[in-house]
Amino acid sequence: MKAVVLHAPHDLRFDDIAPAPAPGPGEVQIAVSHGGICGSDLHYYHHGGFGTVRVREPMALGHEVSGTITALGAGVTGLTEGDLVAVNPSRPCGHCDYCRKGLAHHCLDMRFNGSAMRFPHEQGLFRAAVTLPAAQAVRLPAGTDLALAAMSEPLAVCLHAVAGAGSLIGRRVLVSGCGPIGCLTILAARAAGAEEIIATDIAAPALAGARAVGADTVLDLAGDADALAPYAEAKGQIDVAFECSGAPPAILAALKVLRPQGLLVAVGLGPEVTLPVTALVAREIRMQGSFRFDAEFATAARAIASGRIDVSPLLTRVLPVAEATDAFDLASDKSRAMKVQIAFPSP
């Protein structure tokens, strides 16, 4: 069967690999339909990894996929052949301290599809078929758009970030960095009751995406670096800032506009940054990180399937999987692309 396999930086192949094994007890087999290309896939594609994490053997990429159940192992309940599913790429161990304390996304023995952190690598989901524990498959209603359902994973990241911020009802929110994660954070913040959402970026498709998902004010910081200045008046006007770019200037800009006791949620990853501690202390600014997700995955899948959260404005293009390299190149071009997906032919 076919898979999108990275052999080395810029050496992405549409390989023949061994068929997915028959599902064992508690497992399901899924024919993969759509797969979204994420920033981490692009890091592997361009650089062979990030930080100390390197691809050291051929690795199928991808962790944002949807598909159809094609076989069930013994003892699987709640799923049947033909069910549409969103695939959760994270597989916590279930018995370490963090798993037992309800913090499974901090599992000490986490497996995450399409990650080179472990060796052998945890193979990604851009494979024609995958066999996985049934717990990784979230059932969707018949007729669900599988392209949209493949955005469950990034939406889950954003639901987790928003859930960590406390109540947003009536709040004025800033979202900086409006790639897919920023735009999905805008949708998640609105669903959580944010009253006013201000979005910033420097790239045209990101700014257009922020408008398309309903940000109230969209500021182009490339055109006007001081566009946020009015929000810094009177010690700050923003209640909660979701920093989704990871860019040091964006983090510092967000800290400037937070009101006293405001909250910065750091979602994006980037270079280290020196923080203005005096300002943090004097205005009692709070900062917290947000990483991955847990139960939010199923919530995200259901919100997409029901249409309660409409992620369709973010889908730039779906390319046939045989054109995966073109899809990765398009996804790499922030001047043209928001979310690019590959699609496997129907089994």
The binding site for Zn ion (CB under 5 A) comprises 92-93, 96, 99, 107
Cβ-based nearer residue to Zn ion, 88 or 185: 88
341 DSSP 8-state letter: E
Q: Which residues sit opposite 54 in a β-bridge?
A: 49
Find the shortest distance in angstroms from Cβ 200 to Zn ion.
37
Length of the chain: 347
Measured between alpha carbons, how far is 248 from 256 in angstroms, rounded to an integer? 13
Find the shortest distance in angstroms from Cβ 117 to Zn ion.
14
Cβ-based nearer residue to Zn ion, 13 or 111: 111
Query: What radius of gyration do the chain's Cα atoms show?
Result: 20
Cβ-based nearer residue to Zn ion, 101 or 230: 101
286 by Cβ neighbours in 10 Å (0-12 / 13-18 / 19+) ranks as middle
Measured between alpha carbons, how far is 210 from 213 in angstroms, rounded to an integer? 5
Find the shortest distance in angstroms from Cβ 108 to Zn ion.
5
Cβ-based nearer residue to Zn ion, 93 or 221: 93
Find the shortest distance in angstroms from Cβ 86 to Zn ion.
22
Find the shortest distance in angstroms from Cβ 115 to Zn ion.
15
**Beta carbons of 128 and 1 less than 8 angstroms apart:** yes
Find the shortest distance in angstroms from Cβ 156 to Zn ion.
18
Q: Which candidate, 192, 163, 225, places its Cα nearest to that of 308?
A: 192
Cβ-based nearer residue to Zn ion, 27 or 294: 294
Helix (H, G, I), strand (E, B) or coil at 187: helix
Cβ-based nearer residue to Zn ion, 85 or 99: 99
38 DSSP 8-state letter: -
Helix (H), strand (E) at residue 13: strand 11-16
